Amino acid sequence: MNKKDLIEEAARRTGLARRAARRGVDATLSVIKGQLGSDDCIYIRGLGRLYLKPKRSGFLPAARGTPPKPIPAGKAVKLKASRQAVASLNTDKDRFLTPHTLDTSENNFGGKMEKKNEKENEKTEAAKNEGSALGLDVGTSRLVLASGQADNVKTRAELNAFITVAYSKFTENILKQNKVSYQLNGDERLQIFGNEAERFANFFNTEVRRPMFNGTLNPSEEYSLPVIQAIIHQLLRRTKSGEMLRFSVPGAPRDGTSTDLVYHEAMLRDLFNGMGYNSKSINEGLAVVFAEMEQDNFSGIGISCGGGMCNVCLAFMSIPVMTFSLAKAGDYIDRSVASVTSEGATRIRVIKEESLDLSRPPQNKYESALHVYYDDVIVSLVEALRSSLAETKNMPRIDKPIPIVLAGGTAKPKGFLGKFSQALKRDGFPLEISEIRVADDPLTATARGCLIAALYDA
Ligand SMILES: Nc1ncnc2c1ncn2[C@@H]1O[C@H](COP(=O)(O)OP(=O)(O)O)[C@@H](O)[C@H]1O
Ligand SMILES: [Mg+2]
């Protein structure tokens, strides 16, 4: 690899323009040169120590009859690789060449990822999934994997969140002993990610951080990519058989919020393809249609109300006719209620998830505020749905009333369906609706729909 290749690779992995990546690489190289020039060494955790080693003078072997060529004394740059780097090079030769691949050597992960167990898990997972298809819901709050067959779906979820704690050998050992997955990204902090993140956030009385914000990868979160990659590795093994993987992506935003969907989708596709899958994205609302509307010939309106956003898709015979997303959902409710009640957003989320019943009058100031912001989300959603339908060109002629199915964690509280139906009926609706219902399992509907799409393509 030469410097040009290095810049190309850096641009690809970071998503930066080549010129910006070149500036980063140039700056890094000039810092390295400066440090080495002043006879200082550079220590990079996970890689090793770079330093200048004096080189003795000598002679180049020469052809018979000609005098040997002298080589003057000088200095050579040496890398003393760390144990971690050596271990990872020995166990997985392409690790440093694969985009964003994490170091999964024993030193960097907790007990859960110990090599022996990892191998065994890989074998059993591989046997379970042999020749099958997978669906993955990549949500702002959670990643949900669906596997198996349409009539026997298994799901597993990981929280799409992490916290960071200061690195120390002591903390690292405690995490290992407790079989907590964590990673080091070459700096002085440890990231605890996935389902464990919440437990540790409560323990340290801190808020979790998220690799995604409002439905897409969060560009202002420095650990966004390595953390989401680590969480994905908790759910998915690498494969050699090119299994079908369908993963959910949001629709284009209606409210003009800037989300970089193209980047988000491309980074995820790259990651899954790099793990050996035949991967393709599917709109999250369409996934709800796939999961819930087989009886209706995959025709109807699928709505997924998650943490970061609500996603809507009107489909006819499985073909999306209208899709959009709205960056107002569970997180917006938590943030807004927290702000008007001077409570933490995490505490509000717990109240909301554990006891909110939208079908009865509010019992306290938290519930009052929750009702207000739930109404706000529902009204915004219904208005956006009406305007999107009005703007849709080439609307197919529908000869039969179609269903609306609501999914996602935000649709879970009792009374959500009632409030939504009321808002929809209040000012009339341009399409004939056969029924409005909540999905069988609102938290897994998107993943199940992705699996069905993958099974159809397999
Ligand atoms: N029982 C519940 N009652 C109310 N809200 C819930 C419940 N369960 C989850 N949520 C909320 O749903 C959102 C997450 O939904 P989910 O479909 O998992 O989201 P995402 O697609 O963003 O990953 C969060 O705002 C969470 O607080
Ligand atoms: Mg979702």
> How many whole angstroms from 120 Cα to the centroid of ligand 2?
31
Close Cβ partners of 243 (under 8 Å, ≥ 6 residues apart): 129, 131, 132, 133, 134, 276, 277, 278, 458
Nearest-atom number in ligand 1 for the CA of 349 is: 27
Categorise residue 86: left if φ over 0, alpha if ψ from -120 to 50, beta otherwise. alpha
Query: What angle in degrees, to the nearest 10, is found between the helix axes of 284-292 and 445-457?
Result: 80
Range with the poorest average pLDDT among 73-77, 150-154, 251-255, 280-284: 73-77
> How many whole angstroms from 428 Cα to the centroid of ligand 1?
28
> How many whole angstroms from 212 Cα to the centroid of ligand 2?
12
pLDDT for 129 equals 43
> How many whole angstroms from 355 Cα to the centroid of ligand 2?
21
Read off the pLDDT of residues 218-251 as tens digits, 9 standing for 90 and up. Answer: 988 888 999 999 999 999 999 988 999 999 999 9
Task: Say if ligand 1 is within 6 A of residue 307 CB.
Answer: yes
The overall average pLDDT reported for the chain is: 84
Domains of the chain: 238-457 (3.30.420.40)
Query: Residue 350: nearest ligand to its CA?
Result: 1
- Pick the residue whose CA is nearest to atom 8 on ligand 1: 409
Comparing 18 with 414, which gets the higher pLDDT? 414
Task: Report whether 408 contacts 446 (CB < 8 A).
Answer: yes
pLDDT for 99 equals 28
pLDDT for 172 equals 87
Nearest-atom number in ligand 1 for the CA of 143 is: 23
- Pick the residue whose CA is nearest to atom 9 on ligand 1: 409
> How many whole angstroms from 409 Cα to the centroid of ligand 1?
3
Read off the pLDDT of residues 329-374 as tens digits, 9 standing for 90 and up. Answer: 999 999 999 999 999 888 899 999 999 999 999 999 999 999 999 9
Check pLDDT > 70 for residue 410. yes
Strand order in the sheet with 42-44: 42-44, 48-55, 74-81
> How many whole angstroms from 357 Cα to the centroid of ligand 1?
14
pLDDT for 373 equals 98
From 210, 212, 358, 412, the mutation candidate for ligand 1 (largest count of ligand atoms within 8 A of CB) is 412
Nearest-atom number in ligand 1 for the CA of 305 is: 17
Task: Report whether 315 contacts 287 (CB < 8 A).
Answer: no
Question: 425 to each of 421, 433, 447, how far by Cα in Å?
Answer: 6, 10, 29
